[in-house]
Amino acid sequence: DQQVKQNSPSLSVQEGRISILNCDYTNSMFDYFLWYKKYPAEGPTFLISISSIKDKNEDGRFTVFLNKSAKHLSLHIVPSQPGDSAVYFCAASGGNKLVFGAGTILRVKS
């Protein structure tokens, strides 16, 4: 069973515009959520996180929104840059491990 879902396998955005990546989860026991970014042939790198007691966390161009009632979180990147092109993974934690979504490939066109 997929507890964390990223329903969009890919997203293409024009440079300078906003990128919105979405993630849904099913387990209400998750208490911490993270976004990771992955370039080819590299490991995932941590981007931004949010605790379940918050609904928004912002870090520079990156903002994560959490809607607990909908069990939905999103990552906003604004303005998008070509260097943001990568695979983005949503992850959730409720214990000793992270549960990852399948990832969304973001392509930022210049």
Partner 1 sequence: GAGVSQSPSNKVTEKGKDVELRCDPISGHTALYWYRQSLGQGLEFLIYFQGNSAPDKSGLPSDRFSAERTGGSVSTLTIQRTQQEDSAVYLCASSPTNGGNIQYFGAGTRLSVL
> How many binding residues for partner 1 (CB under 8 A)?
26
Residue 25 sits in the site that holds partner 1 (CB under 8 A): no
The answer to whether 82 touches 37, Cβ cutoff 8 Å, is: no
As measured in angstroms, the least distance from the Cβ of 105 to partner 1 is 11
CA-to-CA distance for 36 and 67, rounded, in angstroms?
A: 19
Contact status: 7 vs partner 1 (CB under 8 A): no
Torsion over CA: 63, 50, 53, 26 (sign): positive
Q: Which residue has the tokens 């934690």?
A: 93
Name which of 4, 8, 3, 29 is nearest 19 in CA terms: 8
Amino acid at 23: C
Measured from the CB atom, is 15 or 107 closer to partner 1?
107
Nearer to partner 1 among residue 15 and residue 62 (C-beta): 62
Interface of this chain with partner 1, residues 36 to 95, rule: CB under 8 A = 36, 41-46, 49, 89, 91, 93-95
Residues that bind partner 1 (CB under 8 A): 4, 6, 31-32, 34, 36, 41-46, 49, 89, 91, 93-103
